[in-house]
Structure 1
Amino acid sequence: MITDDDTLFAALIARDPSYEGFAYVGVKTTGIFCRLTCPARKPKRSNTVFFGSCEAAQEAGFRPCLRCRPFDRQRVPNGALEILREKIRAEPERKWSAADVRALGYDPSTARRAFQREYGVTFAQYARSQRLGYAVTRLLRGGSVMDAQLDAGYESGSGFRDAITRLIGDAPARASERPILTAQWLDTPIGAMVAIADGTGLHLLEFAERAALPAEIARLRKRVGPICFGRSPFLDELSRQVERYFSGRSASFDVPVVQRGSPFETGVWEALRQIPLGSTRSYGEIARLIGRPDAPRAVARANGANQVAVIVPCHRVIGADGSLTGYGGKLWRKKWLLEHERRMAVQAVAPSGRAEQAELALESPAP
């Protein structure tokens, strides 16, 4: 990652999130250091100094900003989003109203925007998805349609049936007769992800902002079966592994992946998983690796068709000239993931007691 001061100042002005966790700005006039994404008013160029870590900024005499909280590992969430999300999880069967949101001290429009920005759905849609997931769980455990309907907060039986049909693709009376895919939101420092799995393994893991996500979910529902939001031991374990990855503690994933594709696509996806942490490959190199040197464009299409982000690391594939090419989760996330993994790789090989060398290596430009 380029770390000259002019580039970092431009990133500061743009509030570029791809430097999140990798660069910090100290403001000489206030003695405070911030994330580059801090919403505070931007300082003059002459009043800034940049650091590669919070510790370096603190050692230089700067205090952490109380607004963007640079020492927090996770991205600072919107206060309304964080509290309301936990309230929904604690009471998934509740039918939330605007009055309930106001009673918690938040404006309903603020809640709507926060959820739309983080998850791609409004607060009401998020709450309804959790409520419907709770209702489907009751059906799967042998509860009656009427009980599930009331739990979901629907007074009209036809309204409940329509909503649940849109969610899982079948009438609720038949829900217990078909395999159910369970969906769950996962929070990361670079945005929310949605995971979808069943008892056999993980079918989808994508960033919520991916433009192709609705089509991918529709295709998955058609290929495998209906989907509802809920909790499962499998997804809870996935959530723990994703958290360890984003915190830099482990890049190892042992959850089974069961996404379906053509023999060519599955060959490409397997090749992606062989790219070492901290490294990249070009489409042409992947094509040669799978014995199809004439098919770099087909490799690019298969790379784009991958529905299990991070675990099947399609972000590690770049252009032949070293440029960051298209990424469904947005290029700034691809840049962030590559830098994050480069640092994890350096830390993994650093000899015991040689922390200074590791720190120096972290400051060198990425290959």
Structure 2
Amino acid sequence: MIQDEQTKKVYYKMLIEKNSHYEGIFYVGVKTTGVFCRPTCPARKPKEENCEFFDTAQEATLASYRPCKRCQPLNTPSGLSPEVKELVASIEANPEKKWTDRDFDELTISPNTARRQFKKQFGMTFIEYARARRLGLAFHSIRKGTRLIDAQLDSSFESSNGFRDAFTRTMGIVPQKNKDIRLLSACWIETKLGPMLAIANDEALYLLEFVDRRGLEKEIEKLRKRQTVAIVPGTNLLLERLEQELNQYFNGELSAFETPIATEIGTPFERTVWALLRTIPSGTTTSYKALAQQLGNDKAARAVARANGANQISLLIPCHRVIQSNGEMGGYGGGVERKKWLLRNEENTRKA
């Protein structure tokens, strides 16, 4: 149980704010109900004097608290509501399907609910998500040599104009040749510290970030434009492999990732810094100044810090292992408390 009074005050403030950066960092036991929750629980918040804070769900359980039925603290935290999860599963079960309001009735989900919640989670409506998923299938087919008209029909686009319009909105242009198509798949991966967004093709990972990172939408748009790619919902063998590695990493069973990362992202200097970051052993830290010295330029610490901040492949390019020269944590796009947790987890894995 957390005893430090200042830490408890910070945690209570984060509980009131439902701050997702603290997912997996602490759990709160409510004395008046005997229930323990995660920081983002939607239930009415208790008074501060009725709260006890714990580092793990196991500690809260051993203190005789029972898990909240609303936020389910014993499960991996998810940014997706049950309705959105059900709809995503329905799309994956039949990705070629063209959805109508009648389909929502069968699932007892309101079309307005689907539209609103999908917009909140994915930045697009459910219909746009389903259309993007169908486009992803079409992209794969055309890439393998399927004629445009056949890909259009196979992905349930009845109108060639509608297909080309949808294609253009996603890609920018309708390609003249199969080799012109570049497709990246985007999927959510649930972790102990909250959901992450991964974007990759069959060969390499292009982006991995916590979904609540500020400016994530701009990162995705920049990636799409700079690489001239379509980014659509879906998965592939590489993303499935990454999900397995992330599960092992967060469970303290993995210290080095083998998932390949894209080599063409970033500037030449940024790629040099990122390559250096990947040499920092798991369970250890270094400073911006030390990295600059390794590059042969003591005055490059600020440039190194900017390159560190531009990294969009979290964990695999371990920018969280860089701290300030005075030992303070410094910043982290996923939140400083996550950074502290990651470093503790890696140190414990190294010692195990």
Does the aligned pair in 1 maintain the 2:282–2:350 contact within 8 Å?
no
How far is 1:14 from its partner?
1.6
**Larger CA deviation: 15-24 vs 111-120:** 111-120
**What is the CA–CA distance in structure 1 between the aligned matches of 2:24 and 2:35, rounded to whole Å?**
16
**What is the CA–CA distance in structure 2 between the aligned matches of 1:30 and 1:275, rounded to whole Å?**
45
Runs of 4+ in 1 over 6 A off after TM superposition: none
Residue 282 in structure 1 maps to residue 284 in structure 2: no
Matched letter for residue 341 of structure 2: E
Q: CA, structure 1 residues 76+247, in 2 after alignment: closer, same or farther (shift >3 Å)?
A: farther
How far is 1:25 from its partner?
1.2
Provide the aligned length of Structure 1 versus Structure 2.
Answer: 341
Q: Deviations over 1:303-337 (max 9, x none)?
A: 2332322211223334555253362xxx43x5314
Q: CA, structure 1 residues 79+253, in 2 after alignment: closer, same or farther (shift >3 Å)?
A: same
Extract unaligned runs of 5+ from structure 2: none
Does the aligned pair in 1 maintain the 2:118–2:125 contact within 8 Å?
yes
Q: What does residue 298 of structure 1 align with?
A: 303
Extract unaligned runs of 5+ from structure 1: 351-367
Q: What does residue 257 of structure 1 align with?
A: 261
Matched letter for residue 88 of structure 1: I
Q: Deviations over 1:73-119 (max 9, x none)?
A: 34373101111111111111111233322321112232233323333
1:68-79 → structure 2 map (5 Å cutoff): 68-75=71-78, 77-79=80-82
**What is the CA–CA distance in structure 1 between the aligned matches of 2:128 and 2:209, rounded to whole Å?**
19
Of 337, 341, 347, the residue aligned with 1:335 is 337
Of 185, 188, 205, the residue aligned with 2:187 is 185
**What is the CA–CA distance in structure 1 between the aligned matches of 2:112 and 2:222, rounded to whole Å?**
28
Matched letter for residue 304 of structure 2: V
**What is the CA–CA distance in structure 2 between the aligned matches of 1:99 and 1:187, rounded to whole Å?**
30
Secondary structure (helix, strand or coil) at the match of 2:73 reads coil
How far is 1:217 from its partner?
1.8
Q: Deviations over 1:144-202 (max 9, x none)?
A: 3222212333332122113213333442552x233633313132232340312243x33
**What is the CA–CA distance in structure 1 between the aligned matches of 2:210 and 2:226, rounded to whole Å?**
17
Identity %: 38
Q: CA, structure 1 residues 73+229, in 2 after alignment: closer, same or farther (shift >3 Å)?
A: closer
Matched letter for residue 32 of structure 1: V
Q: CA, structure 1 residues 91+254, in 2 after alignment: closer, same or farther (shift >3 Å)?
A: same
**What is the CA–CA distance in structure 2 between the aligned matches of 1:137 and 1:36, rounded to whole Å?**
40
Residue 232 in structure 1 maps to residue 236 in structure 2: yes
Of 121, 124, 128, the residue aligned with 1:121 is 124
What's the TM-score, normalizing by structure 2? 0.86
**What is the CA–CA distance in structure 2 between the aligned matches of 1:62 and 1:230, rounded to whole Å?**
38
Does the aligned pair in 2 maintain the 1:280–1:318 contact within 8 Å?
yes
Cα RMSD after superposing both structures = 2.7
Secondary structure (helix, strand or coil) at the match of 2:243 reads helix
**Larger CA deviation: 51-60 vs 253-262:** 253-262
Matched letter for residue 344 of structure 2: R
Of 224, 232, 235, the residue aligned with 1:217 is 224
